[in-house]
A and B are shown apart, each in its own frame.
Chain A
Amino acid sequence: MAHSAEIDSKDAWGGGQSPFRVSYGKMMMWFFLVSDALTFGGLLISYGFIRHKYAEVWPKAEHVFTHFPFVEQHLPLAYVGLMTFILIMSSVTMVLAVEAGHRMDRRGVTIWMFWTIVGGAAFVGSQAWEWFHFIVGTEEGALRDVWSMETGSYVRQIFHGANMVTNEYGVPQFANYFFFITGFHGTHVFSGVIINLIIFLNVLKGTYEKRGHYEMVEKVGLYWHFVDLVWVFVFTFFYLL
């Protein structure tokens, strides 16, 4: 990594080179990630604010997120822990793909990018599974004031699951924020999987061998790590705190 040495600011800004010693594409990807991080930061801060407002009645994550596939019993936070592991793992495979790219090791890049895409797809599928169980809800449900079309007023009855207006777990904002933040994040994961797939196909085609460098892999790798980074924060604020 020869470019990690410090440079004299006169040389850096004198022209004829990047003052940051990075290529244009990588720098712009970083700038985009800062903007996206600001968006998620704003969303999470607003979540913290509303959660604090309703602190006494906010549901506990260990009670809500207890499902695990193919298992009957309640396992609090186990599935979301598995999702976190899958995403961190896919981040590791992605950075290994980038490292292989730095050695022009085409076979290594192919293998590691393949596993990254698998991990990403597994995460999106898992998130869809979580949403399904969240929306369908439990057998017990909870008492809620639900708008009834027939009577033209609110009726108190047992409500199951969640929608954008009511949910059985707590105040409406709980489901709203869950859907919005995990959905926004899930969209980023999904688009990341698509982008990774496109770059993966380019790797197979030999585009980057011809180009002489695998920096495109590094750039989408930055996006993928950002997605993992956001999940680390979402995981903490939604499920742990």
Chain B
Amino acid sequence: MSEFHDNYPQYEVMSNHSEEDGKKARRTLWNVFWIMLVITIFELIIGSMAPGHGWTGTLWLKVLFIGLTLVKAGAIVLWFMHLGHEVKFFKYVILLPYFVFMCYTIFIILTEGTYSGQPGKFAPTNKIFIEQQAALKNGHHGGAGHGAETPHEGEAAGAGQHH
């Protein structure tokens, strides 16, 4: 493969660096690792505390988790994948189309996905799932339903609605 080489600069070899630069690079990498570890542990602690304190489903919790995830993603792309060392235009070539696509997809699914906005309207959720969640909320772990519905009543409901 090395015979097939135009008169292009050898970028592969140009990115080699000395022992000193290596030491600095390694220190940066380990620092990024510690940051990632601290953020992940923090997320796990908040995540396990959330149900007990009733934080589940709150807006600030979602914003916190998504924000921290974006921070971790940025750290990986910038320092582990070395995109931060690349030419600015190349950074844009990689990141901008992706963000545009993601923003567009999220926007379009929120504005056009109206059929799914009302869960009960077109295909009512099977009551079995609602009961299971209610039972779990009342503290019965692993809610095997309390046999609330008799089999033939449930059968009619299930047969009509099973997706």
Contacts and interface: CB of A to CB of B under 8 A. Distances in A.
A172 B163 contact: yes
B130 A56 contact: yes
Interface stretch (A57-65, A128-136, A186-194, A195-203): A57-65
Interface of A is mostly: helix
For chain A, the bracket of interface size reads 35 or more
A183 interface: no
A26 B93 CA distance: 14
Interface string B77-106: 101111001111110011001100110011
A92 B102 contact: no
Interface residues of B, number: 89
A111 interface: no
A23 B11 contact: yes
Interface in B8-43: 8-19, 21-22, 25-26, 29-30, 33, 36-37, 40-41, 43
Interface string B51-85: 10000110001100110110011001101111001
Contact of A154 (B19, B69, B131, B158): B158
Given A2-B14, A41-B105, A232-B73, A156 B142 contact: no
Given A88-B33, A212-B13, A215-B15, A233 B87 contact: no
Interface of B: 2, 7-19, 21-22, 25-26, 29-30, 33, 36-37, 40-41, 43-44, 47-48, 50-51, 56-57, 61-62, 65-66, 68-69, 72-73, 76-77, 79-82, 85-90, 93-94, 97-98, 101-102, 105-106, 109, 113, 116-117, 119, 125-126, 128-133, 136, 141-145, 147, 149, 151, 154-155, 158-159, 162-163
7 contacts: A57-B125, A57-B129, A63-B136, A102-B17, A138-B142, A153-B155, A228-B76
